[in-house]
Amino acid sequence: MRRNRLFLLASLWCSLPLAEAGGDCPSMTRVGFSDLGYTSYRENGRISGIAVDVVNELARRSGCKFEFHWYPRQRLFVELQAGRIDMAMGAFRTPERDAYARHLPYAYLQYDLILRDASGQSYASLSDFVERGTGRLNITRGLVYDSAIETQLARLATAGRLELVNDFETVFGKLEMGRADGTVATAAIYAKYLQHPRLKDSVTVIPIAEAAPRFTGIYVSKKNISPEVRLRYASALKTMVADQYVAGLYGRYIDEATIKRTFRLGAAPLQAALSTSD
């Protein structure tokens, strides 16, 4: 293991017709993961989670091989841009990332506000918390939010009510100890941490009305991965979205009501995005 990276191999093969789509597989595609709750986490020396399940199925359907690497979230896209990895998982689309990688969405994310109940107050939204609350949110470095959330976080930062930390394990550890009042996270992230007995019944999940569901997916290097291979991966993901395989993966980790809320826009927008060319 080098520079806090964990190497694993996803070497699943199959002879599906889809494996013929696009260019020849690279000898290995290096995939970067980071701490994102049930999306990707490390346990007993292994990288696990929804994103790992997605890549394993992508390997099966595309016939290609993948190698797993672990990074702090704030370094993940530095490594992708530098060409030291070929894919980054659990990725929100941004214009900056589009310059050096192709975004392949496979699911939606929906941010919620997670608050400790100790304050005794209730809030209707993130903006309501910003306006009427006095608590401090802890936010993980390296994450990107949509403009509605970024606006409110900027207001909290100006008021001295926002703290940046390195990972979600730290965020929820501070919530457990009463050293933070809340955070902003998706269900795939907080569902894992709220299993802890000291958090499960002591926090409130508040949907952020200001934020709509957004695509989450894979960023694939334009420098290292050819357009033909990117098309191969997009085609495989499109079949995984169409047959509800990805939504089924989320069902292994998250309750049905939350999945329905998060995936309420359906598969069609994801399929359309996967059908566009680079």
- Last residue in a domain, options 175, 207, 239: 207
Q: What is the domain-level CATH number for residue 175?
A: 3.40.190.10
Domain total of the chain: 2
Compute CA 225 distance to the chain's CA centroid, rounded to the nearest angstrom: 21
Compute CA 59 distance to the chain's CA centroid, rounded to the nearest angstrom: 19
CB-CB contact of 37 with 48 (8 Å): no
| pLDDT for residue 6 | 41
Residue 125 DSSP one-character state: S
| pLDDT for residue 196 | 86
CB-CB contact of 80 with 219 (8 Å): yes
Residue 40 lies in a domain: yes
Same domain, 96 and 175: no
Same domain, 61 and 188: no
| Domain boundaries, position 158 | 111-207
Residue 1 lies in a domain: no
| pLDDT for residue 152 | 96
- Last residue in a domain, options 178, 207, 236: 207
Q: What are phi and psi of 128, to 5 degrees?
A: -65, -40
Q: Tell me the whole-structure pTM to 2 decimals.
A: 0.86
Tell me the pLDDT of the chain (278 aa) as tens digits: 444 444 444 433 333 444 445 578 999 999 999 999 999 999 998 999 999 999 999 999 999 999 999 999 989 999 999 999 999 999 999 999 999 999 999 999 889 999 988 556 789 899 999 999 999 999 998 888 888 999 999 999 999 999 999 989 999 999 999 899 999 999 999 999 998 888 878 899 998 988 888 999 999 999 999 999 999 999 999 999 999 999 999 999 999 998 888 899 999 999 999 998 67
Same domain, 34 and 45: yes
Residue 19 lies in a domain: yes
List residues bridging with 184 in a β-sheet.
113
Residue 2 lies in a domain: no
| pLDDT for residue 199 | 86
Express the helix, strand and coil content of the chain in percent, nearest 5 each: 40, 25, 35
Same domain, 95 and 233: yes
Residue 235 CA to residue 224 CA, distance in Å, equals 19
| pLDDT for residue 118 | 58
| pLDDT for residue 5 | 43
| pLDDT for residue 117 | 81
Q: Where are the alpha helices (DSSP H) in the chain?
A: 50-62, 73-82, 95-98, 126-132, 147-158, 168-177, 187-193, 197-200, 227-242, 245-251, 256-262, 268-275
| pLDDT for residue 11 | 37
